[in-house]
């Protein structure tokens, strides 16, 4: 899956970033993005706690199920190992994290692929 995500990013060059969209509007929004040619979508975790991590994971799961085989779904603003696990369990296929916590980076590399600027990585 890691290579599939990398190929999709290289080919499509755009990841739609979705934050703060109500659950009932999420599938229609993603469908509109898909109809417009978007093939990668990121749901961000709320660093301020305005949306629970569990709700974000649930939303990732709903999108991953609805768009399986059509759109790659992942998460952004991934700050903890728990969030990495939630994304993976929900069916997300990538995580974007600006976090420099080594344990989070290693968890991302274990479950997905992760690029961290200016930080040497120990890949599993």
Closest to 18 in 3D by CA, of 1, 4, 34, 2: 34
Band of residue 9 on the pLDDT scale cut at 50, 70, 90: confident
pLDDT at residue 124, rounded to an integer: 45
pLDDT at residue 102, rounded to an integer: 81
More confident residue, 113 or 18: 18
Cβ proximity of 92 and 111 under 8 Å: no
Q: Model confidence over 28-67: pLDDT tens digits?
A: 999 999 999 999 999 999 988 899 999 999 999 999 999 9
- CA quadruple 38, 8, 11, 76: dihedral positive or negative? positive
Q: Which residues does 105 contact at the CB level (< 8 Å), separation at least 6? A: 97, 99, 114, 116, 119, 121
**Architecture of the domain delimited by 2-111:** Alpha-Beta Barrel (3.20)
Q: Which residues does 38 contact at the CB level (< 8 Å), separation at least 6? A: 12, 14, 16, 71
Domain coordinates in residue numbering, the chain? 2-111
Band of residue 5 on the pLDDT scale cut at 50, 70, 90: confident
Angle separating helix axes 53-66 and 81-90, nearest 10 degrees: 30
């Amino acid at each position: 899956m890691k290579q599939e995500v990398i190929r999709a990013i290289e080919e499509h060059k755009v990841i739609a970033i979705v934050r703060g969209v109500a659950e009932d509007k999420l599938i229609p929004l993603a469908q509109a993005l898909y109809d417009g040619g978007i093939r990668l979508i990121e749901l961000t975790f709320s660093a301020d706690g305005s949306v629970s991590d569990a709700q974000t994971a649930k939303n990732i799961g709903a999108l991953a199920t609805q768009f399986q085989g059509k759109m790659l779904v992942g998460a952004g603003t991934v700050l903890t190992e728990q969030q990495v696990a939630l994304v993976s369990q929900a069916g997300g296929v990538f995580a974007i994290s600006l976090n420099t916590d080594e344990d989070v980076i290693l968890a991302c590399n274990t479950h997905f692929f992760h690029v961290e600027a200016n930080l040497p990585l120990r890949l599993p």
